[in-house]
Structure 1
Amino acid sequence: MTACPTIWFINRFFFPDHSATSQILSDLAFHLASQGRRVGIITSRGVYDDPAVELPAFETVRGVEIRRVGRSRFGRNNLAGRAVDYAGLYVAFAAAVGRYARKGDWIVAKTDPPLLSAAIAPVAQAKGLRLVNWLQDVYPEVALGLGLHALRPIAPLLKAARNYSLRIAECNVAIGERMREHLLREGAPPERTVVIPNWCDDEAIKPLSKEENPLRRQWGLMDKFVVGYSGNLGRAHEYDTLVGAAEILRDEPNIVFLFIGGGALMPGLKAEVERRALSHMFRFFPYQDASLLPQSLCVPDLHWISLRPEMEGLIVPSKFYGIAAAGRATVAVTEPLGEVGGLIENFGCGETVQPEDSAVLATAIQRCTQKEALCEAMGRNARAMLDRTFSSSLCKKSWNDILTSPEIALHQLINCNAPVSRRDVTVKENASNPNGISLP
């Protein structure tokens, strides 16, 4: 009798780390283990925000076997040191796959460190393992788009190695439709390349009114219209459009821009706010404890998302799903025909603004302050969209199906990945609608 195969996930971070890729992987791994699946993790001994931490090499948590085989020595701020960290992790992870995985096991490789699948694919093929690529972003294209020109001479070799891993994989999982389209252009087999979006804890995160939200009261925002941002503000984003809109709205006493989190661009944003004498409009808070996320996501009346247009198809702002779970509208400064822009248009859950068009962004924000019923209706549309199409239970079921009956699941997912229209979502609303959003 053949032993039940183990599902091995590979990623730089895992529980108890709280970074975004770790949280969603931890959620899926613990879910699969609770369903009786054999689950193992090959990860590093470090955590995202503290290179001094060293976690145990072997541990079992909630039925998941954790094998920690390397760690980051130089952290995230030193580019050369990060390259050395990555090289060491590629070797350590590939060796661990060779040591722990058995023929017939599943190997699910995420993309942290970047291009991880290129290091794992040869080992998986040699050992008869079933490789799944779980792409959170697409490298080296992201690095080149962010201006890392030192990679340009070797980019064709990196792409070739990455594309080889796409071709031999049992399944490639993209987190957005535009990302899937990009992978198909790079030669990924269409019959084995599907979309399973990232998800959020939509059981814990639910719409919460300002009157019910103790965090909003604690932060003194009860009488304000709050435009919020939560999470990492990184190099794939831009804030000039938002700051320009804030300058236009500087004399609006009830508008506050709230930032919760950190990231590479956050110091520059704070400096620009100071330079333009806009500090009276901005509030900055560090990352909050994960237990407060259901409250913190409900503090804003309107959430702001940014993604540089050249990053479309390479990155998906997955924070959009948490915003939707909170029942809040989104104003996205990005390509209108991109991943988030398309969802906003299809489901009537916000507005999209072209980068550099600060005047249009200011008008959109001002309209939401004047028509709060419209803003609330877009938030309800967002939650309805999530429940209908992007719930955590649906996404985790898709993963379970892929890792149980891949041929059937792939066929079903490919046929079901077409976007759902807001016409399929029932939302009752009688608010006036000056900007043409159709509310069924």
Structure 2
Amino acid sequence: MSDTNADKEFALVTEYFHPDTASTGQLMTELAVGLEDRGLDMTVYTSQPNYHSGSNDRQPRTSVHDGVLVKRIRAPQFRQSSLPRRLFNWAVFTVWMSVALLVSRPRRERELVFVSNPPMLPVAMWAVAKLRGWEYTYVVYDLYPDQPVELGYLSEDDLVTRLWSRLHQYALHDAAHVVVLGPVMRERVIRRAGPGFDPEKVEIIHNWEDETFIEPREKADNWFSDEHGLVEPFTVFYSGNIAHFHDLETVVEAAAELEDEEVQFLIIGEGDNKRNIVELAERLGVKDETVKFLPYQDWDDLPYSLTCGDVSIVAVREGFEGVCVSSKLYTSMAAGTPVLCIAQPDDDESRIVREADAGITVAQGDVQGVVEAVRRWRDDPELVEIQGRNAREAFEQNFTATRSIDAYYEVLSGTAPEPVSREYLLRN
């Protein structure tokens, strides 16, 4: 670690952190612990657990997690079961965290690191950093206000969108570093930043999966597959958030076309759009037969639920090219299963799958394309094996936790990391 970084504290601001089960919380937990083990002084500013948690999960205001100091807001947080509850949580977290950081008294020079969620957090952290004279690194997981515009919540031309876009441009321009998740997202961020923005400050660092936690597993040796009747039928599965920006409608409609064939679809998870997806399956007469639904699985069961099928699904809504990159892609590749990628051909997810020959890409709404892909895999076990092996190999070469956290260290410190500590390796 350089002398400069020895005198600096890095404050990671994230709504989700351990023990929250949101993918962002898992990633930010691993990032903070990994950077601390590599020599950076990390302090996490976060909320009370609220993603799938109840009041019994309330955490102390100050604690230490795997060597990382964690400070939490004291304000109540609702369980995120509806949009109004999320809006409340977002507003409380953003305002509370802004005030807490403004009045804080760091012992050393401080640099902020924050993610793009909640939606107004980047603008609030830009204002805090300007007032306190701090540098900051902005990690773009979801691009705002592009996401609510694409979902139809806002118009491209209304006053709120224009004001939000302008403030967001300031946040991009003044950042020391901007981290994005792929080349398409990088292009969109640079375009949104407008004239005078330095594209050299935008770094591509992919999200990741723990290569030792999720490993390829044969269905015949997987208790989860056996328990849910997935060993014999050819199984196509989705696991994760069921939101409006995930195109699972195409999946269910394709399942209806395959109703009389030996194919099983499994959708695991919860989200704002689950009711609509379940109702669609009911209308098409495939619920509980061709398409099964399960809730989120316990953390200890994930190595089995995420490897329970023959092909895994990654699906994004049309118009979201460069707005986000699905973290499910890295998990699917870690599991060593071919990926059915429902996205535009030039989206970041499609590029990765195609370049690695790790699956088949199909455009949103192309029901027949999904049907043909599933039939091709079902009738060609060798193709399933080859693409699954390609997926795992590409994952190990590009999307492991060690590789990505090393890249974050280099961005924040300006130097290549030394080997991580023995304690970190044993812990992970």
Q: TM-score, structure 2 length as denominator?
A: 0.90
Map residues 31-42 of structure 1 onto 2, 5 A cutoff.
Answer: 31-42=34-45
Deviation at 1:392, TM superposition (A): 1.5
The CA distance in 1 between the partners of 2:61 and 2:413, in whole Å, is: 29
The question of whether the paired residues in 1 share the 8 Å contact of 2:20 and 2:53 is answered with no
Map residues 216-295 of structure 1 onto 2, 5 A cutoff.
Answer: 216-252=225-261, 254-279=262-287, 280-295=289-304
Deviating more after overlay: 115-124 vs 53-62: 53-62
2:138 is the alignment partner of 1:133: yes
Report the aligned-residue RMSD. 2.0
Map residues 344-423 of structure 1 onto 2, 5 A cutoff.
Answer: 344-405=353-414
2:73 is the alignment partner of 1:69: yes
Q: Residues 108, 357 of structure 1: CA spacing in aligned structure 2 closer, same or farther, 3 A cutoff?
A: same
Deviation at 1:70, TM superposition (A): 4.7
Equivalent residue in structure 2 for 1:57, among 53, 61, 67: 61
Question: For residue 332 of structure 2, what is the amino acid of its counterpart?
Answer: I
List 4+ stretches of structure 1 deviating above 3 A: 50-54, 70-85, 100-103
Equivalent residue in structure 2 for 1:122, among 101, 123, 127: 127
Question: For residue 333 of structure 1, what is the amino acid of its counterpart?
Answer: I
The CA distance in 1 between the partners of 2:202 and 2:27, in whole Å, is: 20
Map residues 27-176 of structure 1 onto 2, 5 A cutoff.
Answer: 27-50=30-53, 52=55, 54-71=58-75, 73-76=77-80, 79=83, 82-98=86-102, 99-101=104-106, 104-149=109-154, 152-176=158-182
Deviating more after overlay: 366-375 vs 61-70: 61-70
Per-residue displacement from partner, 1:206-238 (whole Å, max 9, x unpaired)?
Answer: 111122212111222211100000111111112
Question: For residue 42 of structure 1, what is the amino acid of its counterpart?
Answer: Y
Per-residue displacement from partner, 1:34-67 (whole Å, max 9, x unpaired)?
Answer: 2333110111124213464532211122211111
The CA distance in 2 between the partners of 1:101 and 1:145, in whole Å, is: 39
2:186 alignment partner, SS class:
helix
The question of whether the paired residues in 1 share the 8 Å contact of 2:21 and 2:52 is answered with no
The CA distance in 2 between the partners of 1:200 and 1:396, in whole Å, is: 11
The CA distance in 1 between the partners of 2:304 and 2:346, in whole Å, is: 31
Identical aligned residues as a percent: 29
Deviation at 1:77, TM superposition (A): 5.0
The CA distance in 1 between the partners of 2:250 and 2:82, in whole Å, is: 29
Question: For residue 58 of structure 1, what is the amino acid of its counterpart?
Answer: T
Q: Residues 260, 165 of structure 1: CA spacing in aligned structure 2 closer, same or farther, 3 A cutoff?
A: same
1:344 alignment partner, SS class:
helix
Q: Residues 78, 205 of structure 1: CA spacing in aligned structure 2 closer, same or farther, 3 A cutoff?
A: closer
Per-residue displacement from partner, 1:374-420 (whole Å, max 9, x unpaired)?
Answer: 011111111111111222111010011112117x89xxxxxxxxxxx
Deviating more after overlay: 198-207 vs 35-44: 35-44
Partner of 2:12: 9
The question of whether the paired residues in 1 share the 8 Å contact of 2:255 and 2:291 is answered with no
Question: For residue 26 of structure 1, what is the amino acid of its counterpart?
Answer: T
The CA distance in 1 between the partners of 2:75 and 2:115, in whole Å, is: 17
Deviation at 1:150, TM superposition (A): 7.3
Deviation at 1:160, TM superposition (A): 1.2
The question of whether the paired residues in 2 share the 8 Å contact of 1:172 and 1:193 is answered with yes
The CA distance in 2 between the partners of 1:234 and 1:365, in whole Å, is: 23
The CA distance in 2 between the partners of 1:72 and 1:342, in whole Å, is: 42
The CA distance in 2 between the partners of 1:79 and 1:210, in whole Å, is: 37
Equivalent residue in structure 1 for 2:28, among 12, 15, 25: 25
Deviation at 1:17, TM superposition (A): 1.0
Question: For residue 183 of structure 1, what is the amino acid of its counterpart?
Answer: V
The question of whether the paired residues in 1 share the 8 Å contact of 2:248 and 2:277 is answered with yes
Deviating more after overlay: 44-53 vs 212-221: 44-53
Question: For residue 161 of structure 1, what is the amino acid of its counterpart?
Answer: L
Deviation at 1:25, TM superposition (A): 0.2
Equivalent residue in structure 1 for 2:213, among 204, 209, 223: 204
The CA distance in 1 between the partners of 2:209 and 2:384, in whole Å, is: 22
Q: Structure 1: any 5+ residue segments left out of the alignment?
A: 410-440
The CA distance in 2 between the partners of 1:128 and 1:302, in whole Å, is: 49
Question: For residue 24 of structure 1, what is the amino acid of its counterpart?
Answer: L
Equivalent residue in structure 1 for 2:311, among 280, 284, 302: 302
The question of whether the paired residues in 2 share the 8 Å contact of 1:51 and 1:73 is answered with no
The CA distance in 2 between the partners of 1:83 and 1:101, in whole Å, is: 30
Deviation at 1:88, TM superposition (A): 2.8
The CA distance in 2 between the partners of 1:116 and 1:122, in whole Å, is: 10
The CA distance in 2 between the partners of 1:56 and 1:110, in whole Å, is: 23
2:109 alignment partner, SS class:
coil
Deviation at 1:335, TM superposition (A): 0.4
The CA distance in 2 between the partners of 1:351 and 1:216, in whole Å, is: 23
Deviating more after overlay: 374-383 vs 118-127: 118-127
The CA distance in 2 between the partners of 1:60 and 1:79, in whole Å, is: 31
Q: Structure 2: any 5+ residue segments left out of the alignment?
A: 418-428
The question of whether the paired residues in 1 share the 8 Å contact of 2:50 and 2:80 is answered with no
Q: TM-score, structure 1 length as denominator?
A: 0.87
